[in-house]
Chains A and B, each alone.
Chain A
Amino acid sequence: MTELWQGILRALELLVKFDPEVMAITFRSLGISTSACAIATLVCLPLGSLIHFTSFKGKRLLISIIQTFYSLPTVLVGLLVFILFSRAGPLGELGLMFTPALMVIGQALLVIPLMLGLIITALASLDKTVADTAFSLGASRFQAGILALKEARYAVITSVIMGFGRAISEVGLAMMVGGNIRGFTRTLTTAISLETSKGDIELSLALGFILLIISLVINIALSRLQQVRTSAAH
């Protein structure tokens, strides 16, 4: 017990003194996951709108498949990305293996099914009359799509935040594809898993606290949004 307590104290010390390695790892994690989330958002907003508003054969099947990929194991996606981007693999020429850039791509791939599915659900929960009204007032498909996303904005933002949550807390992909290289691709999650398995409890705890705080902030943001959403509906 004293070991744990001492560990906690030393961890707090690292945090309060803004230990450079801890700070670097934190900002790197945030940067990678935010970038991945941004890419996913740019893809999912138009794609989700398109899928929702177009009727085509196999639409239900497509949405089912997307939902199945929500909780695809991160190591599986990591393995896929590794095989694709390894120098021996088809995209090896790009030389992206073990770089933060590849981690961004990988996390984006991981998050896209989740965000896409949630955005489609958000749009589907809109009153059907909204799109109808837009068309009847002269909106083009594109303009109606933008309106729908705006009308469903709270649910859409929730989808984005959930995507971010998945990105920042995953470790499997970051490990396989980033290599956990000190000073280059080490993130909160990979550092915690390395340091813990090596027994450096203090550093792990410090990083763990930060991850916890980030998760808390995400959750608070999500619940505030829920509140606003339910009050706006009235």
Chain B
Amino acid sequence: MKNVKYILSSLVLSAALVAGISGCGSPDGSPIIQAQDRLRLATTTSLYDTGLWNALEDRFEQEQGIRLDILYAGTGIALEYGRRGDVDAVAVHARATEEQFIADGYGIERVPFAYNYFVIVGPESDPAGVKGLSPEDAFKKLHDSQAAFISRGDASGTHTKEKAIWKSAGFDYDTVATSGSWYVEAGKGMGPTLQMAAEMQAYTLADIGTFLAYKAETGLVPLVEEGAILLNVYSIIVIDPATVEGAKAEKAQLLVDFLVSDEIQDYIGKYGMADYGEPLFNPCAGNEPAS
């Protein structure tokens, strides 16, 4: 009986090990310890939560035959991964931060590949009455009425934009952030932040793409959609191997070329039509879009 137990447990153990190891590999069976050949991309949560990357990932992997690993991280964290060399490219949306990143030597160049707009969203009842205002005026009203507002609070592109709006409206950000319990720092990705806003019937700033993707389940409505400051440009930056050791710039460049290719730009421009009635992104093929 004891022998049977030993044999059984070693069988189970070996099976688990084999299963685990094969499960760790890619579906085509390549082994796990080949991190060297995998292309790593850190992407902003708002791109990921729309599901755009899921669709593009499979296509890229098939067309190029390169394993693409996508890490879900706010802009701040994504850039940090880039500085450390743990990813080979970053896809984020905070222009000033990106340009600083490149000036510091970590990135080669900034290639915009899609854009949309931020919107200020909130409950349909709009208790603070911000509908139709300019972004700056809307923020002023939210501050004055102490309406519940959820901030990303995570140095993401969205958070950076939020800070820019506060600044543009004449506020000192740190003062705003600590001025009361109406201002909530979520510390989460865009999708989860929208959900939190829905739970608390609060306002928040979101990119139109993620907002539309989550619209059905959150029940929030767009209240402020016009304003130059709301432009939201997504760019991809290849990490510079001259500064960051081990960055796979060549492979990353393939991804960049893929994203700005006519075919994919077309795909991006149509993404979301079927599910949401309007596209979530506008293509811009490597050029900074005019406001």
Chain B nearest Cβ from A142, distance in angstroms: 22
A34 to B12, CA, bound (A): 10
Interface size class of B (residues with CB under 8 A): 35 or more
B83 interface residue (CB < 8 Å to A):
yes
B40 interface residue (CB < 8 Å to A):
yes
Query: Is the CB–CB distance between A182 and B85 below 8 Å?
Result: no
* A89: chain B residues within 8 A (beta carbon): 84
A88 interface residue (CB < 8 Å to B):
yes
The interface stretch among A10-18, A96-104, A122-130, A202-210 is A96-104
B191 interface residue (CB < 8 Å to A):
yes
* B57: chain A residues within 8 A (beta carbon): 182
Query: Is the CB–CB distance between B69 and A34 below 8 Å?
Result: no
A73 interface residue (CB < 8 Å to B):
no
Query: Is the CB–CB distance between B17 and A98 below 8 Å?
Result: no
Query: Is the CB–CB distance between A95 and B71 below 8 Å?
Result: no
Most buried by A among B24, B192, B195: B24
Which residue on chain B has the smallest CB distance to residue A29?
B20
Which residue on chain A has the smallest CB distance to residue B18?
A31
Interface size class of A (residues with CB under 8 A): 35 or more
Contacts A32-B20, A199-B191 known; A86 to B86 CB distance under 8 Å? yes
Query: Is the CB–CB distance between B49 and A198 below 8 Å?
Result: yes
* B188: chain A residues within 8 A (beta carbon): 197
Contacts of A1-45 to chain B: CB distance below 8 A: 24-35, 38
A33 to B21, CA, bound (A): 11
Of A25, A28, A98, A99, the contact of B71 (CB 8 Å cutoff): A98
Most buried by A among B13, B84, B192: B84
Of A87, A97, A101, A194, the contact of B32 (CB 8 Å cutoff): A101
Contacts of A173-200 to chain B: CB distance below 8 A: 179-185, 194, 197-199
Q: Is the interface of B mostly helix, strand, loop or mixed?
A: helix
Chain B nearest Cβ from A4, distance in angstroms: 14
A173 to B20, CA, bound (A): 18
Proximity string of chain B (179-211) to chain A, C-beta cutoff 8 Å, 1 when within and 0 when not: 000000000110110010000000000000000
Contacts A30-B20, A182-B54 known; A98 to B69 CB distance under 8 Å? yes
* A98: chain B residues within 8 A (beta carbon): 35, 40, 69, 71, 86
A96 to B83, CA, bound (A): 16
Contacts of B54-85 to chain A: CB distance below 8 A: 54, 57, 67, 69-72, 83-85
Contacts of B23-65 to chain A: CB distance below 8 A: 23-24, 26-27, 32-33, 35-36, 38, 40, 49, 54, 57
Query: Is the CB–CB distance between A181 and B69 below 8 Å?
Result: yes
Query: Is the CB–CB distance between B86 and A34 below 8 Å?
Result: no
A88 to B243, CA, bound (A): 11
Query: Is the CB–CB distance between B26 and A101 below 8 Å?
Result: no
B217 interface residue (CB < 8 Å to A):
yes
Chain B nearest Cβ from A31, distance in angstroms: 1
Contacts of B68-107 to chain A: CB distance below 8 A: 69-72, 83-86
B245 interface residue (CB < 8 Å to A):
yes
Query: Is the CB–CB distance between A31 and B86 below 8 Å?
Result: no
B16 interface residue (CB < 8 Å to A):
yes
A9 to B16, CA, bound (A): 28
Query: Is the CB–CB distance between A95 and B35 below 8 Å?
Result: yes
B19 interface residue (CB < 8 Å to A):
yes
Contacts A87-B86, A95-B246, A98-B69 known; A34 to B35 CB distance under 8 Å? no
Chain A nearest Cβ from B187, distance in angstroms: 11
Query: Is the CB–CB distance between A92 and B20 below 8 Å?
Result: no
Question: Can you list 10 A-B pairs with a CB-CB distance of less than 8 A?
Answer: A32-B24, A34-B13, A89-B84, A95-B246, A98-B86, A182-B54, A183-B26, A185-B69, A197-B189, A197-B195
Those 8 A-B pairs whose CB atoms lie nearest each other, nearest first: A31-B20, A87-B85, A27-B23, A88-B84, A100-B24, A28-B23, A27-B19, A197-B192
**New A-B contacts (12) at CB < 8 Å, excluding given A88-B244, A92-B84:** A27-B19, A28-B20, A35-B20, A35-B21, A98-B86, A99-B32, A100-B24, A100-B32, A179-B69, A181-B69, A182-B70, A198-B195
A positions within 8 Å CB-CB of B:
24-35, 38, 86-89, 92, 95-101, 179-185, 194, 197-199
B positions within 8 Å CB-CB of A:
13, 16-24, 26-27, 32-33, 35-36, 38, 40, 49, 54, 57, 67, 69-72, 83-86, 188-189, 191-192, 195, 214, 217, 244-246
